Amino acid sequence: MNKETEKIRRRYDRVSKIYDILEQPMEVMSLKKWRLEVTKDLKGKVLEVGVGTGKNIPYYTDDIDITAIDFSEKMLAKAREKANKLNKKVELIQMDAQNMNFADNTFDMVFTTCVFCSVPDPVKGLKEIRRICKSNGKIIMIEHVRSEQKVIGLVMDIFNPLTVNLYGANINRRTVDNVKNAGFTKVEVTNLTGDIVKKIVIYNEK
């Protein structure tokens, strides 16, 4: 891992103890609904990238073959606790999304929730997803991005260094542009909260 990746990984190790508490207001307001929205469509051999403390694990259905990765061992430890408690079968692996240890075309589906705000080199991570997802496979992402509204976007730019330092997450990422820059061509975007939280569905044509 390079220095920048190591720095962000350590931030998530640091925040792992309080992540679920910090995130709870968002969970109640809307995240729970979006987690259900993503997980209900999963089929076949599935990869969750950036599983974190395992907030999506309760919603995994029993008919999928699921692997989940995260580069923070301490976030993963929390995910392991949840999986054990809920008796959910999931292979949890410490791995960097920018350099995944999976063969090309391994997964039918890949999904993320609030991850590409943090991946240090998002285009590199998205290119890796393109590689390890099968041709004609499906990628579903729920991600918060920079608002294109002038004032809100500017406020996000101003506060971004603070959230990166505290947490490891950028609030001003242009994730839809990053998806396109990673080479994906068939991309459907739906706004979930204003223009900030988006559902991005990608059909992996390659």
Question: Rule CB under 6 A: which residues touch ligand SAM?
Answer: 12, 50-52, 55, 69-72, 75, 96-98, 113-115, 118-119, 125, 169
Q: Please, which residue, 12 or 60, has the CB nearer to ligand SAM? A: 12
Minimum Å gap between C-beta 159 and ligand SAM is: 16
Minimum Å gap between C-beta 199 and ligand SAM is: 13
Residue in the block written with tokens 């008919």: 63
Identify the CA nearest to 181 among candidates 140, 133, 130, 146.
130
Structure tokens of 206?
């390659």
Q: Are 111 and 140 in contact (CB under 8 A)?
A: yes
- Coil, helix or strand at residue 37: helix
Cα separation values, 110 from 9, 84, 157, 200, Å:
21, 22, 29, 12
Q: Please, which residue, 22 or 185, has the CB nearer to ligand SAM? A: 22
- CA 139, CA 135: separation in Å to the nearest integer? 11
- CA 114, CA 59: separation in Å to the nearest integer? 16
Minimum Å gap between C-beta 70 and ligand SAM is: 4
Q: Please, which residue, 12 or 184, has the CB nearer to ligand SAM? A: 12
Residue in the block written with tokens 């406020």: 155
Q: Please, which residue, 192 or 205, has the CB nearer to ligand SAM? A: 192
Q: Please, which residue, 90 or 115, has the CB nearer to ligand SAM? A: 115
Minimum Å gap between C-beta 179 and ligand SAM is: 16
177 DSSP 8-state letter: H
Minimum Å gap between C-beta 41 and ligand SAM is: 16
Q: Please, which residue, 115 or 202, has the CB nearer to ligand SAM? A: 115
Minimum Å gap between C-beta 150 and ligand SAM is: 26
By beta-carbon distance, which residue lies closest to ligand SAM? 52
Give the distance, in angstroms, between the CA of residue 70 and the centroid of all CA atoms in the same chain.
Answer: 9
Sign, Cα dihedral of 13, 67, 42, 107: positive
